[in-house]
Amino acid sequence: NIVCVASAPGTLWVLSDEGRVYIRHGITDANPCGTQWWKLNLEQISEKVQFSHISCGCDVVWACDIRGKILMMVGAPQTVSSCEFVPVWVTVEGSPRANNTFTKIFVGPQSYMVWALDNAGNVYVREAIFPDFLVGTGWVHVDGIKASHLSISGEAVWALSKTGVFKRIGISECNYIGESWLFISGNLDHISGELVTYWWFFVTTEIKSVFD
C-alpha cells in the first residue's frame, strides 16, 4: 500500500507502508505518465531506518522515519534513478518540542522552504538553510495552529487542520518563518499546492497502486 506520494518537476516518488521507495522513470513533457517504476537503493540506511514520509525539492529529498528521525539526500530527485551510485542520506540534527516526535516532512520549490509536523500537530520550519548549506541548523516551532498536513507552494505554506485550511503568508528567503496564518474556511481531507501560489487543489480520494 502507498502511504506517501512526493513530486517535483519531472519526477514522482512513492513510499510504501514497508518503507520502500519507488521512482517513476521516463517522465517527460511528451510522456507525463513515465515508462516504468524504479526501486530506490536504500542499502546505506535500510538496517537502521524505515521511512514513513518523504518530500522532494528541486535539488534535495527530505524524509522522516518511523522513529521521528529526519534525513536529507542532496541531489536532484529527477536524476537519482539514472545515477550509478547509491544515494547518500544525511541525518538531520534537531528535535521537536519535548516528548514529541516528527511524523511528516515537507519541502517547497525553494530550498529554504522545509517544514515539518510532529505527532501532536505542531508545525516547524527549518532555519538557516543556504545554497551552500542545505541541511540548515535547527527547527523553529511556528505557533498559532495545529495541523495534520502541509503543502508548500511558491510563496506560501498551506496547513490542513480540524477547523479548516490556513495559509502562512509573508514567507521569503529573508523571512523563512513568514508573518502570520490566514484562515480559509472549508472541511477538507487533503490539500496540495503548486509552484504558482494560486494553483492549489483539494483532493479527497486515496491514491493506491500495485508494484510487481
Each residue of 144-190: pLDDT tens digit?
Answer: 999 999 999 888 999 999 888 999 999 999 999 999 999 987 666 77
- Report the pLDDT averaged over residues 121-129: 98
pLDDT score at 84 = 74
Percent of the chain at pLDDT > 90 equals 68
Percent of the chain at pLDDT > 70 equals 89
Residue 101 pLDDT greater than 90, yes or no: yes
Residue 198 pLDDT greater than 80, yes or no: no
d(CA 92, CA 135): 7
pLDDT score at 193 = 61
Residue 205 pLDDT greater than 60, yes or no: no
What would the grid cell of residue 61 be?
Answer: 529529498
pLDDT score at 197 = 43
pLDDT score at 161 = 92
Four-CA torsion 43, 76, 173, 154, nearest 10 degrees: -110
What would the grid cell of residue 52 be?
Answer: 514513513
What would the grid cell of residue 69 be?
Answer: 528521525
pLDDT band, residue 82 (cuts 50/70/90): confident
Amino acid at 43: E
pLDDT band, residue 80 (cuts 50/70/90): confident
Q: What letter does residue 81 receive in the DSSP assignment? A: G
pLDDT band, residue 49 (cuts 50/70/90): very high
Domain coordinates in residue numbering, the chain:
2-152
Helix (H) or strand (E) holding 190: none
pLDDT score at 81 = 74
Torsional class of 121: left (φ above 0), alpha (ψ -120 to 50), beta (otherwise): left
At 135-153, the pLDDT tens digits run: 999 999 999 999 999 999 8
Taking a C-beta distance cutoff of 8 angstroms, is the pair 74, 85 a contact? no
pLDDT band, residue 200 (cuts 50/70/90): very low
CATH class of the region 2-152:
mainly beta
Q: In what order do the strands lie in the sheet with 11-16?
A: 2-8, 11-16, 21-25, 36-39
